[in-house]
Amino acid sequence: MKVFQEIKSCLSACIAFGFALTAFSSCSDSGSETAGATSETTNGIAVIAFDGAHTPIPQALVTLYRHPDEGPHVSVLETATADDSGMVQFETQPDQCQNAECYIEGIAGEDSSLMVWTKLDAVDSTTNEIELLPSVSLMVRTGAAASDSTVLGRSLMLDATPYSTKNDGGDFIFSHIPSGLYTVIAEGEPVATVSLEAGSSVDTLIRISNLTREFIFEDFDDGDKLNNLAKDYPNYGWYYMPHKSASFESPDSTGGFTGALINDNASGKYLSLRFSIKESGYVMLGTHLGLDSGYYDLSSLSAIRIKVRGNCDFAAALEHYREIENNNYNKALWFAKASDEWTELVLRPGKETLDKKNYQVAWDDISSEIGIFSIFIYNGSRLDIDEIVFEGIAPDSFSKKSE
């Protein structure tokens, strides 16, 4: 009996020892597999997302793209969400980016308020840092006529990116894209380059063959008092008037309108207005497009561009040819503001300010019978004006004038 108990004890010990060996062996095998997986992941491409203050961005959505040797399109390799330290570890191996360009996109914040699009610099296990900055709103105009159906269905894209947009009433709107330098592609061909600063809202014209129509209504380079339409259709040119307590310093009674034209050797002449406005006074600048009783069909207008510099608030208006009362005309009117730097403002039909008691009406109500272009200045002391351009209007479309 004692011998039997000793054999039983020995057998139990051996079984226990064998189990321990088995357990140890299992842990070792498992540990080997885990280490191998970690090694594979570590050898992938690592990215860490920061904001402009170099603070990590948890939950940033980070996507790795591959761009082939040819064509404007990119394809997704992998998408992942950053951890609490802003880190993303892609499983994609570096050799997948050795023979092609790879890019990283980062998106964070409500409504994609922070974004980045950048070329992948390191394709080994080195961590790539990306800085997400305020996204950009980009509106691209073609200068096509408002009624031009040939632009419908067309699309634009930014070369070597996932960003594209379709026509929206003659405009192409990229609501949220990262800052950077991009080539714009239309119908598979590059048409322009745009540089976008973080947090900006950009409205730009891209000229496309057979679509873009624009008429330079005035650039002041000829040095006279006539708008450019007078070259083909007679008119009386520019006039300027102060109202109530306001007064003009430039133009003055000596030099007149042409005396207020300043020569800038870099870009030709511009109009320099100087004035004094007190209380409820204002000054105005205007010109008839034709003779006093003439009007033009400008219903195809898609935008007005005007370059300005100054320190005032003003309104630009296209007015109906028929006087209502006391030298007042129904008008489509757009409010604007001048700053110390030259800025090109874009005024759009459909965005005018409506106020019937002040004869401010919808563009569509008067667009086929336009007789006057005017600028009303309400405060400040100076306004410089350069090119005034009608987009969507071809020069020969003015042949539809009436008297």
Side chain identity, residue 321: Y
Contacting residues for 389 by C-beta, under 8 A, at least 6 apart: 214, 215, 216, 217, 304, 305, 306
Confidence of residue 122 (pLDDT cuts 50, 70, 90): low
Q: How far is CA 161 from CA 94, 154, 264, in A?
A: 20, 18, 40
The number of beta carbons lying within 10 Å of the beta carbon of residue 70 is: 6
- For residue 15, the model assigns a pLDDT of 37
Confidence of residue 261 (pLDDT cuts 50, 70, 90): very high
- CA end-to-end distance (rounded Å), the chain: 133
Model's pTM, two decimal places?
Answer: 0.79
Span 104-130, average pLDDT: 88
Residue 56 is given by DSSP the state: B
The answer to whether the Cα torsion of 78, 59, 163, 181 is positive or negative is negative
- For residue 280, the model assigns a pLDDT of 83
Burial of 12 (0-12, 13-18, 19+ CB in 10 A): exposed
Q: Give residue-wise pLDDT tens across range 216-235.
A: 999 999 999 999 998 888 88
Q: Give residue-wise pLDDT tens across range 285-341.
A: 999 998 877 899 999 999 999 999 999 999 999 999 999 988 899 999 999 999 999
- For residue 1, the model assigns a pLDDT of 42
- For residue 147, the model assigns a pLDDT of 77
